Chains A and B, each alone.
Chain A
Amino acid sequence: MSAESTDLTRLSAATLADKLTAGEVSSDEVTRAHLDRIAAVDPAVHAFLHICGRRALATARDVDARRAAGEELHPLAGVPIAVKDIIVTKGVPTTAGSRILEGWVPPYDATLVSKIKAARLPILGKTNMDEFAMGSSTEHSAFGPTHNPWDLDRIPGGSGGGSAAAVASYQAPLAIGTDTGGSIRQPGAVTGTVGVKPTYGSVSRYGLIALASSLDQAGPVTRTVLDSALLHELIGGHDPHDSTSIPEPLPPLVAAARQGALGDLTGVRVGVVTELNGDGYSDGVRARFSESLTLLQQAGAEIVEVSCPHFTYALGAYYLILPAEASSNLAKFDGMRFGLRVTPDGGDGLAATAERVMSATRGAGFGPEVKRRIILGTYALSAGYYDAYYGSAQKVRTLIQRDFAAAFEKADVLVSPTAPTTAFKLGEKLDDPLAMYLNDVATIPANLAGVPGMSVPNGLSDDGLPVGFQILAPAKADDRLYRVGAALEALLETRWGGPLLERAPELATAANSPVEATR
């Protein structure tokens, strides 16, 4: 047995599930181990905004009791999970990383939370994020940034930096993220974790606080491809509360991951997207990408070059559609019904009308990036500008969908680097929104077209920081991501002799004296 098996937090969800089923460990032990880990390292990482230790342990003990009584349980029952704070949880504060929701306790559960609860996974807590998921660094959280476990001076990606950092630092084996333009995949890439954005409509959005309704999709954040498949199958499927939910069942994802792990990709056509692999991608990112392609080729895949000419316009279209929808979705945060309410002090002699309370609340409750996008979106939807901005962006979206359709004629999956660079330093791009937006250039097309995407860790760049390999599949063919992703993961780990995350520096903990970080 290797050293890790003594530490329950180092095990994958699949392994924990096996041990729980076999009765080798109890959920109480597993959950406690993770809560202890959170207590030890999260003061430095700041992945969590809210920790629900007592609730998690209650769920864990309930699972143990049921198992002892011989009850048939979900395979993941008792395996702890972290949930991004943009997902509504009944009785547990949900802020979406914003002051405007500080103190709000939702009276209902998101559908995916109901599924997690029905399967009896202890929920450890709610993870940090850029405010309302607007950002690529988690620096726009109103409650302070999350730090990258690989280098605490660097960003963990965003908006779901909290979920990615929690999983990368062994605070949770599983986490839920949401991906509107790359918020699951880009944090996955820069923290060395696996992140999946499912097909739009395959995981219910009911209870996901909307950023951009036509782009948002919740998905798994894990350390292994198989774990993502297990979690994806748990949270996915039709939901009558979400009109955009796909009625058909999910394709078999766990089976696809297990098949892929055998390492044989004979007959699989892998398309390299010309537009997503060139200028703007760092040398290290490109080097790891071509090495991964070679591995896939050696596993029997056929590598083809495909062009998606309209991807060039994706970023522009995205930054019209997203702010437009967000400006409307965020209108409800007005201090009238929930969350923060700021009443003007009356020093100006004016009455505190509803309009002035709304204005003061929004002025105080929203951060600068949120305000920036609300203003952009309001402008883009204004009479006289609608056709030029929102209308044109929707046309670009159609063209991008056609690019995907044509590309998937030639290839079964499309691939690219997930993010153009490794994690940058905290503060480095905070004052340069455009540079920040460029982080998502490779991930955005999938959201605009509704197709699924995965980021798999595929090595370290020259700076010793992780990079990710993005796989895209046609809508409703999420199983292809798992087959190819699991194959790549298996091939890479064989080469490395273990998971990439084992090469991350040990974090200083209360129980552990600080080890030297390789910075």
Chain B
Amino acid sequence: MSISTHGPIDLIDYDEAVARFDPVFGIEVHVELGTKTKMFDSAPQVFGAEPNTAVSPTSLGLPGALPVVNGTAVEYAIRIGLALNCTIAETCRFARKNYFYPDVPKNFQTSQFDEPIAFDGYLDVELEDGTIFRVEIERAHMEEDAGKNTHVGGATGRIQGAEYSLVDYNRAGIPLVEIVTRPIEGGGARTPEIARAYVRSLRDIFRALEVSEARMERGNVRADVNLSLRATPESPLGTRSETKNVNSFRSVERAIRFEVSRQAALLAAGGVVVQETRHWHEDTGTTTAGRIKSDADDYRYFPEPDLLPIAPSREWVEEIRAGLPEMPVARRNRLQGDWAFADAEMRDVVNAGALDLIEATVAAGASPASARKWWMGELARVVKTTDGELEDLPITPVQVADLQGLVDSGALNDKLAKQVLEGVLAGEGSPQEVVTARGLGVVSDDGALLAAIDEALAAQPDVAEKIRGGKIAAVGSVVGGVMKATRGQADAGRVRALILEKLGVEG
């Protein structure tokens, strides 16, 4: 085992690196399935429980304990396989991957080796500019998660230098599906963006399939990123590095950019890339060397004798296929058609994470255009100032639709509506409650308006003359006066009509 510390690393500017070398990457994504119990036993799957309380003899690897396959986990794995256009195995087995590590309670991981449940698929990934890039999937297989080590006493929180380590087996045995791509070629300079979009697409699919909460920050979805460089697309594949546990979309992109620059510097200087696992450092945006990984790693795989082969019937697979929800890309296309958004508008909506919100707002009665106007306009501005996410704002799609309803009925004008929105965001209640509490209704009593109009006309007799003389555009200044007098609570259109009527002019 060789451990290197954070030392200075030679880098080449990214643009220069991709100009000189052709990057090829691959991604292994692990997703924790959101089943009630673990992969091979009835211990509950809970997040944030006291250490070593969500365990059973099986997930602790106690002598004599045996595994039993979680049928729901198998169904979820098949859902994922089908969503990734994979072939579902007619029969497949679990295997033991033997290695000693304290967070692996049996000192072997029950996984799938040469017989994955799903294989030979692909995923079409949409990039920010709308380009579709096809990522080929080699396999998706089932396995169990390991426990979690906490290293205490060291400066870095890593095992080196720690005084002692604690192991929590609550996570041990949680069902995982690992999705392995084939080498992804042809990304060129866009390789980091493709990687990010791929992981993001997977996250969206896991959520759409309801197989996982897929919360990156909780480690529900974890990515290992392989990267190698070669001189040209015609050259043989170069030596790859494997950067472990890159656990946010942004980190996936950054880690690949960093590895491209690092490997390019090595190769440009006449050096070689070492086949090794590397650690990703979120804070510095760099990777450091971990374990040297050679093909001689010997996990002594053999078929798990405690489990029978899994043979999902074709009927069951078809039943699962028929029950699959609409995939994100198809849904996006359908909604874009329904809403008549332009391509650019739709992309902005998706990138802003507003798709679900707009869909819910439309479902609550707002027009697609007005829903988009609120979420991508006023609310997007609020989010920008707070560096948050739209879905975390303290306003619901139903409230946005209600607000728009008040505008549509004439009870609010745009200016007032923005004030109401502020009130809702400030936690003052529903739009109607804010209107009532703040006294923000549009003045719809013609009598009150006529009094205000009389005042405004009296204040600007020359303007009244101009209007009577046919300069209809001059009416704006009278409207302005009325609005000012009513503190903006008048319906400007109604005010205009009343002024013209009063002056006996056709609008």
Give chain A's interface residues, CB within 8 Å of chain B: 87-88, 94, 96, 101, 104, 106-108, 110, 205-210, 212-214, 240-244, 324-325, 327-328, 331-334, 336-338, 354-355, 358, 378, 381-383, 386, 390
A-B contacts, 9 of them at CB < 8 A, read: A88-B62, A108-B65, A213-B305, A325-B305, A328-B302, A331-B98, A332-B107, A337-B62, A338-B63
Q: Does B300 contact A (CB under 8 A)?
A: yes
A431 vs chain B, min Cβ distance (A): 29
Q: A241 to B66, Cβ gap below 8 A?
A: yes
Q: B100 to A243, Cβ gap below 8 A?
A: no
Q: A328 to B68, Cβ gap below 8 A?
A: no
Return the CB mask of B338-366 against A: 1 if under 8 Å, else 0.
00000000000000000000000000000
Q: Tally chain B residues at the interface, Cβ within 8 Å.
A: 31
Q: A332 to B106, Cβ gap below 8 A?
A: yes
Contacts A332-B61, A354-B102 aside, 6 further interface pairs with beta carbons under 8 A come to A325-B305, A327-B98, A334-B100, A336-B102, A337-B60, A381-B302
Q: A243 to B63, Cβ gap below 8 A?
A: no
Q: Please measure, in the bound complex, the distance between the C-alpha atom of A354 and the C-alpha atom of B160, giving whole angstroms.
A: 12
Q: Does B105 contact A (CB under 8 A)?
A: yes
Q: How many A-B residue pairs have CB under 8 A?
A: 100
Q: Does B108 contact A (CB under 8 A)?
A: yes
Please, which residues of chain A bring their CB within 8 A of the CB of B102? 334, 336, 354
A328-B96, A334-B100, A383-B298 known; A209+B64 contact, CB < 8 A: yes
Please, which residues of chain A bring their CB within 8 A of the CB of B67? 243
- A-B pairs, 10 with minimum CB distance: A331-B107, A381-B300, A213-B305, A214-B305, A88-B64, A207-B64, A209-B63, A383-B298, A332-B61, A209-B64
Report the nearest A residue to B165, measured CB to CB: A354
Q: Does B427 contact A (CB under 8 A)?
A: no
Q: B64 to A331, Cβ gap below 8 A?
A: no
A132 vs chain B, min Cβ distance (A): 10
Give chain B's interface residues, CB within 8 Å of chain A: 57, 60-69, 96, 98, 100-102, 105-108, 165, 167, 296, 298, 300-302, 305-308
Please, which residues of chain A bring their CB within 8 A of the CB of B302? 324-325, 328, 381, 386, 390
Q: B64 to A110, Cβ gap below 8 A?
A: yes
Q: Please measure, in the bound complex, the distance between the C-alpha atom of A210 and the C-alpha atom of B62, giving whole angstroms.
A: 11
Please, which residues of chain A bring their CB within 8 A of the CB of B108? 328, 331
Q: A241 to B64, Cβ gap below 8 A?
A: no
A247 vs chain B, min Cβ distance (A): 11
Please, which residues of chain A bring their CB within 8 A of the CB of B96? 328
A400 vs chain B, min Cβ distance (A): 16
Residue from the list A101, A244, A328, A336 in contact with B63, Cβ < 8 A: A101
Q: A244 to B57, Cβ gap below 8 A?
A: no
Residue from the list A208, A241, A243 in contact with B69, Cβ < 8 A: A243
A107-B57, A354-B102, A381-B300 known; A243+B64 contact, CB < 8 A: no
Q: Please measure, in the bound complex, the distance between the C-alpha atom of A92 and the C-alpha atom of B102, giving whole angstroms.
A: 26
Please, which residues of chain B bring their CB within 8 A of the CB of A324? 302
Please, which residues of chain A bring their CB within 8 A of the CB of B68? 240-243
Q: B64 to A328, Cβ gap below 8 A?
A: no
Q: Please measure, in the bound complex, the distance between the C-alpha atom of A209 and the C-alpha atom of B107, giving whole angstroms.
A: 15
A331-B106, A354-B165 known; A205+B66 contact, CB < 8 A: yes
Q: A336 to B64, Cβ gap below 8 A?
A: no
Q: Please measure, in the bound complex, the distance between the C-alpha atom of A94 and the C-alpha atom of B308, giving whole angstroms.
A: 28
Residue from the list B61, B69, B305 in contact with A337, Cβ < 8 A: B61
Report the nearest B residue to A204, measured CB to CB: B66
Report the nearest A residue to B302, measured CB to CB: A381
A243-B306, A382-B300, A386-B302 known; A334+B63 contact, CB < 8 A: no
Q: B64 to A206, Cβ gap below 8 A?
A: yes
Please, which residues of chain A bring their CB within 8 A of the CB of B167? 336
Q: Please measure, in the bound complex, the distance between the C-alpha atom of A205 and the C-alpha atom of B96, giving whole angstroms.
A: 18
Q: A332 to B64, Cβ gap below 8 A?
A: no
Most chain B beta-carbon neighbours within 10 Å: one of A88, A243, A338: A243
B68 vs chain A, min Cβ distance (A): 5
Q: B69 to A107, Cβ gap below 8 A?
A: no
Q: A107 to B300, Cβ gap below 8 A?
A: no
A244-B306, A358-B100, A382-B298 known; A106+B64 contact, CB < 8 A: yes
